[in-house]
């Protein structure tokens, strides 16, 4: 956040589509579009997400997505995710009737949709199949025989019909079938469950392995000092982090990294298989810099993804800035996803998020005053003030609420485009808005809240923190990365908000895969509770199979998981056998 550079605030009218909105676009006097100094009056920042209005009649919402963000020729075959849901927001008109039996006047219910999937440019038929009406997540396989691997995507369309052919539905998507790799890395997103999968030197470019990212934004002076030393980086890696985002130096001429020096550190990261989230926060609005930096680093075996904008919504960068960078990166390097972090709770989400495949949130709620700006001495509300955590309440749950917000915005955009959400967790403090550094218990609690609310990766601002936090966040991250936990986190989506009795502030989620269910528990209370705690499970379970983290005294009876008492901020992760 900058200091006062100029004033008074410039109120600028921005043309977005057909609607003109006014917001305060000067970051020296406002953040997330809200003035933060007592000398400037409150103003509606605009840019609030417009939830579509449901209509009375049901629609059939047909969508097609590739299962993975990219396929490689060596995969041999791929699959689509076809959804055909009854919606009152998106889709095409639907009548629950099909006159497919000759002579039968009343017709049959329309319960199955037939469809064909075509490659647009060649008109070739890829798949012919059917799915139940009002079903999601149908996986439809296809072969690569009709495709020539290339770096440009193929446009794909689905044409669905009722059995009598009278009602029809269309949707489209694009898929990448890329030339196989024998160097560098390829990283794909699972559009069904949000996990990341990699192939690189570690597995000799054979197949894919899942990675649950857990790592910090790292202070360059510590992990990659200019007087070359691997001590900081090795310590970091020994704490079990598997990703890193080394924060670039905006003061350098190319607002990037010293190339020779980063190259040396990156050699070590390649040896460790420590994945880099390559940060272009100061350079992503300059297309020359994007091209130069991609050319330098795109062949690294531990390149995980490109990271463009850091809080573009807070800084109020041009609304098209993230998408322009995204389109360029897609052209230059389709093998890696693009990510960014949003700081505001509800400010031009669709514009900024259109420029990334993965959206991070960075609500920092620990030791703030959510209603009174400590540095600026103003109230904070929906139109005014900066309290260090936009529209927050100042509880750890701000993290999970923000993930829910982002997921709900994304789900209410047309076209069903999946975007995994990640958390950036607060591990700093003792500065302006944030009076103290979070304890390790607070950090682990925010980690569990994140995973409970479908974060598919975790990062931290900023490493190094306290020794306790550095060690604890690495250790719990290692639990999330373990095979038993990954099977659930990457094998389905969480059932959030399980009902809990016995203590008010407990967040619990369930993941069901096969004949087991994983349960994540985060107590939001800072004090110990001794009462009986009961979590209502979404389905009955027979026994506790394994405690992956935390207390082992949980017992299960039918659909109730119980335990006597919870410690302040307790975190538990366990696997149950279903009955």
Ligand X SMILES: *[C@@H]1O[C@H](CO)[C@@H](O)[C@H](O)[C@H]1NC(C)=O
Candidate residues 77, 170, 299, 553; the one interacting with ligand X per rule CB under 6 A: 299
The partner residues of 516 in beta bridges, in order of sequence, read 513, 577
Using the contact rule CB under 6 A, the part of the chain among 76-84, 195-203, 285-293, 440-448 near ligand X is: 285-293
Name the minimum Å distance from CB 113 to ligand X: 11
Output the CA angle 328-334-340, nearest 5 degrees: 60
The C-alpha angle 94, 97, 99, rounded to 5 degrees, equals 130
Give the angle subtended at the CA of 514 by the CAs of 510 and 516, to the nearest 5°: 50
Answer for the pair 382, 391: CB distance below 8 angstroms, yes or no: yes
Using CB under 6 A as the binding rule, whether residue 286 contacts ligand X is answered as yes
Distance CA 277, CA 189 (A): 15
Compute the least distance from the CB of residue 48 to ligand X, in Å. Answer: 12
Min dist CB 63 to ligand X, Å, is: 15
- Among 436, 453, 445, 460, CA closest to 526: 445
Q: How far apart are CA 544 and CA 556, in angstroms?
A: 7
420, 427, 419, 547: which is closest to 479 by C-alpha?
Answer: 547
Per the CB < 8 A criterion, the answer to whether 151 and 334 are in contact is yes
CB 426 within 8 A of CB 392: no
Using rule CB under 6 A, residue 96 touches ligand X: yes
Please choose, out of 156-164, 170-178, 261-269, 284-292, the segment that lies near ligand X by the rule CB under 6 A.
284-292
Q: Which of 483, 484, 462 is CA-nearest to residue 473?
A: 462
Residues 3-62, interacting with ligand X (CB under 6 A): 42
Helix (H, G, I), strand (E, B) or coil at 10: coil
Give me the least distance between CB of 97 and ligand X, in Å please.
8
The Cα–Cα gap between 406 and 410 comes to 6
How many Å from the N-terminal Cα to the C-terminal Cα in the chain? 54
Kindly state the tokens that stand for 255. Answer: 């607002």
Q: Is 86 in the site for ligand X (CB under 6 A)?
A: yes
Return the number of the residue (28 or 96) whose C-beta is nearest ligand X. Answer: 96
| Closer Cβ to ligand X, 83 or 572, answer by number | 83
Q: State how beta strands 214-218 and 243-246 pair.
A: parallel
134 near ligand X (CB under 6 A): yes
**Of 124 and 263, which has the nearer Cβ to ligand X?**
263
Pick between residue 258 and residue 379 the one whose CB is nearest to ligand X.
379
For residues 236 to 255, the per-residue mask of contacts with ligand X, x marking binding by CB under 6 A and - elsewhere, is ------------------x-
Taking the least distance from each CB to ligand X, the nearer of 145 and 288 is: 288
Query: Which CB atom, from 439 or from 501, has the smaller least distance to ligand X?
Result: 439
Nearer to ligand X, 134 or 161 (CB): 134
Work out the number of other CB atoms within 10 angstroms of the CB of residue 95. Answer: 13
Cα angle 115, 117, 120 (rounded to 5 degrees) comes to: 140
The reply to whether 227 sits near ligand X by the rule CB under 6 A is: yes
Backbone angles phi, psi at 258, to 5 degrees: -65, 115
CB of 94 to ligand X, least distance (A): 7
Question: From the list 166, 320, 354, 501, which residue makes contact with ligand X (rule: CB under 6 A)?
Answer: 320
Stretch near ligand X under the rule CB under 6 A, chosen from 112-120, 364-372, 485-493, 540-548: 364-372
Selected from 210, 225, 502, 538, the binder of ligand X by CB under 6 A is 225
Contact between 221 and ligand X per CB under 6 A: yes
Longest dimension (CA), the chain: 86
Rounded CA-CA distance 361/397 in Å is 13
CB of 77 to ligand X, least distance (A): 26
Which of 54, 109, 123, 251 touches ligand X by CB under 6 A? 109
Residue 318 interacting with ligand X (CB under 6 A): yes
User: 313, 302 in Cβ contact below 8 A?
Assistant: no
Q: How far is the CB of 16 from ligand X (least distance, A)?
A: 9
From residue 371 to residue 410, what is the string marking binding to ligand X with x (rule CB under 6 A)? xx------x-xxxx---------x----------------
Site residue total, ligand X (CB under 6 A): 26
The CA distance from 395 to 374, in Å, is 17
Nearer to ligand X among residue 324 and residue 567 (C-beta) = 324
Contact mark string toward ligand X, 260..279, x via CB under 6 A: --------------------
Binding site for ligand X (CB under 6 A): 42, 86, 96, 109, 133-134, 221, 225, 227, 254, 286, 288-289, 299, 318, 320, 324, 369, 371-372, 379, 381-384, 394
């Amino acid at each position: 956040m900058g200091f006062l550079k100029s004033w008074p605030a410039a109120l600028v009218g921005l043309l977005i589509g057909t609607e003109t909105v006014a917001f305060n676009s000067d970051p020296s006097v406002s953040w997330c579009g809200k003035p933060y100094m007592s000398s400037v009056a409150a103003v509606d920042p605009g840019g609030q997400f417009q939830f579509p209005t449901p209509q009375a009649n049901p629609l059939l919402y047909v969508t097609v997505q590739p299962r993975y963000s990219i396929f490689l020729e060596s995969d041999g075959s791929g699959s689509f995710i076809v959804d055909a849901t009854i919606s009152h927001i998106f889709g095409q008109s639907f009548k629950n009737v099909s006159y497919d039996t000759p002579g039968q006047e009343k017709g049959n219910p329309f319960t199955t949709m037939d469809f064909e999937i075509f490659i647009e440019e060649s008109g070739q038929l890829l798949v012919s199949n059917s799915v139940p009406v009002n079903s999601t997540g149908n996986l439809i396989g296809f072969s690569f025989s009709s495709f020539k691997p290339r770096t440009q995507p193929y446009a794909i369309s689905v044409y669905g019909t009722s059995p009598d052919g009278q009602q029809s539905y269309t949707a489209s998507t694009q898929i990448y079938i890329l030339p196989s790799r024998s160097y560098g890395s390829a990283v794909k997103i699972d559009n069904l469950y949000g996990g990341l999968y990699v192939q690189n030197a570690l597995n000799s470019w054979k197949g894919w392995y899942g990675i649950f990212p857990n790592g910090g934004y790292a202070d360059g002076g510590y992990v990659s000092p200019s007087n070359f030393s691997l001590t900081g980086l090795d310590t970091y890696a020994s704490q079990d982090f598997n990703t890193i985002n080394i924060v670039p130096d905006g003061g350098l001429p190319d607002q990037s990294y010293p190339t020779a020096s980063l190259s040396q550190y990156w050699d070590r990261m390649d040896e460790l298989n420590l994945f880099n989230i390559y940060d272009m926060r100061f350079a992503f609005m300059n297309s020359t810099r994007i091209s130069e930096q991609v050319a330098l680093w795109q062949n690294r075996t531990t390149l995980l993804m490109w990271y463009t904008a850091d809080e573009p919504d807070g800084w109020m960068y041009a609304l098209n800035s993230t998408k322009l960078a995204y389109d360029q990166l897609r052209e230059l390097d389709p093998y890696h996803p693009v990510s960014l972090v949003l700081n505001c709770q509800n400010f031009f989400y669709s514009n900024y998020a259109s420029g990334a495949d993965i959206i991070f949130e960075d609500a920092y709620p620990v030791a703030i005053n959510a209603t009174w700006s400590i540095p600026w001495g103003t109230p904070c509300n929906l139109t005014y003030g900066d309290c260090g955590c936009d529209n927050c309440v100042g509880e750890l749950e701000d993290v999970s609420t923000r993930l829910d917000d982002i997921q709900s915005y994304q789900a209410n955009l047309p076209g069903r485009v999946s975007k995994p959400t990640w958390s950036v967790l607060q591990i700093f403090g003792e500065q302006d808005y944030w009076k103290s550094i979070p304890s390790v218990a607070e950090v682990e609690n925010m980690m569990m809240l994140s995973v409970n609310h479908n974060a598919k990766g975790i990062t931290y601002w900023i490493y190094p923190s306290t020794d306790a936090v550095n060690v604890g966040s690495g250790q719990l991250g290692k639990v999330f990365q373990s095979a038993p936990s990954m099977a659930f986190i990457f094998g389905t989506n969480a059932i959030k908000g399980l009902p809990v009795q016995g203590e008010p502030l407990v967040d619990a989620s369930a993941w069901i895969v096969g004949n087991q269910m994983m349960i994540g528990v985060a107590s939001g209370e800072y004090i110990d509770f001794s009462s009986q705690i009961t979590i209502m499970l979404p389905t009955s379970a027979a026994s506790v199979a394994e405690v992956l983290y935390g207390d082992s005294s949980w017992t299960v009876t039918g659909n109730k998981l119980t335990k006597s008492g919870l410690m302040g901020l307790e975190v538990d992760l366990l696997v149950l056998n279903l009955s």
